[in-house]
Amino acid sequence: MATSIRLKRYGTTNRPAYRIVVADRRAKRDGKVICEIGHYNPRTEPSTMKVDSEAARRWMDRGAIPSKAVRNIFKKLGII
C-alpha cells in the first residue's frame, strides 16, 4: 500500500487546525487514516507544531512520503 504523511484538517470554518497523519495516498483529505503522529495549529503565535519524531521516522523508513507542507514542518522540527 502506498502511504503518505499529510495534513488532515479539523476545526470550524475560518479556524483551521491540522492533524499530521499517515494515510493511503488514494484516501480523501479528511478520510480514513492509518495513524495519527502529531498536530499543527497555524493560528497560535508562534505556530504550534508537535510530532512524534520516532513514529515519523519509522513510517518514512517503511516508505511513507511526506507532503510538501509536512516536509516543511519536519525540517523546522529537525526530523528531516
- In which residue are the cell numbers 497560535 written? 44
| DSSP characters over 41-80 | ETTSSSPEEEE-HHHHHHHHHTT-EE-HHHHHHHHHHT--
Residue 11 reports pLDDT greater than 80: yes
| All structural domains of the chain with their residue ranges | 3-77
Q: What is the pTM of this model?
A: 0.89
d(CA 5, CA 17): 16
**Architecture of the 3-77 domain:** 2-Layer Sandwich (3.30)
Q: What are 21-70's pLDDT values in tens digits?
A: 999 999 888 888 999 999 999 999 999 999 999 999 999 999 999 999 99
pLDDT at 1 over 80: no
